């Protein structure tokens, strides 16, 4: 876990899920989170390298982050790799908490090795989505930051 910039103002009280816009697996992850949070009460989304990413994360920190999924919490903490996955599962709650508890029992170095292995081949296994910017409802678009 790292520190980003300052804690989010009250109006930005949801975690931001930064994702790789060119990665099919990242798109599937975002779509899954949206399906599991249909009311939009748990997350906001923004692309890695976008305006929000540049504005909200310290420049020194940005260079060392992976290009997959990064979670910025409202308190300013930044989570990557399997720690980000565990944070997302915790925010989803319910049946996802069981999965988080099981994954948490695996030592972080081993979890992160599996994550890094998957991240290294994700572009070959999950093709870049053709519909990178599908037409979405205004409600859904409102959950995404630039």
User: Starting from the edge strand earliest in sequence, which strands make up the sheet with 69-72, in order?
Assistant: 2-3, 77-80, 69-72, 16-19, 44-47
So what's the pLDDT on residue 134? 54
CA–CA separation, 22 and 9 (whole Å): 30
CATH for 2-141 is 3.40.30
Question: Can you read off the two tokens belonging to residue 116?
Answer: 């890094």
Most confident of 57-66, 97-106, 111-120: 97-106
Every domain of the chain and the residues it spans: 2-141
Tens-digit pLDDT profile for residues 63-87: 777 777 899 999 999 998 889 999 9
Contact 42, 71 (CB under 8 A): no
Range in 22-26, 106-110, 119-123 the model is least confident about:
119-123
| Section 115-140 average pLDDT | 67
Model confidence at 10, in pLDDT bands (50, 70, 90)?
very low
Question: Can you read off the two tokens belonging to residue 38?
Answer: 């249909």
């Amino acid at each position: 876990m790292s520190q980003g910039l300052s804690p989010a103002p009250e109006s930005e009280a949801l975690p931001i899920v930064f994702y790789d816009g060119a990665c099919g697996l990242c798109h599937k992850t975002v779509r899954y989170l949206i399906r599991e949070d249909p009311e939009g009460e748990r997350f906001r989304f923004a692309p890695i390298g976008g305006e929000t990413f540049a504005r909200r994360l310290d420049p020194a920190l940005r260079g060392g982050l992976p290009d997959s999924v990064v979670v910025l919490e409202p308190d300013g903490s930044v989570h990557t790799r399997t720690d980000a996955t565990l944070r997302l599962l915790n925010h989803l709650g319910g049946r996802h908490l069981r999965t988080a508890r099981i994954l948490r029992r695996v030592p972080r170095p081993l979890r992160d090795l599996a994550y890094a292995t998957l991240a290294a081949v994700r572009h070959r296994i999950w093709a870049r989505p053709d519909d990178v910017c599908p037409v979405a409802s205004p409600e859904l678009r409102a959950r995404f930051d630039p």
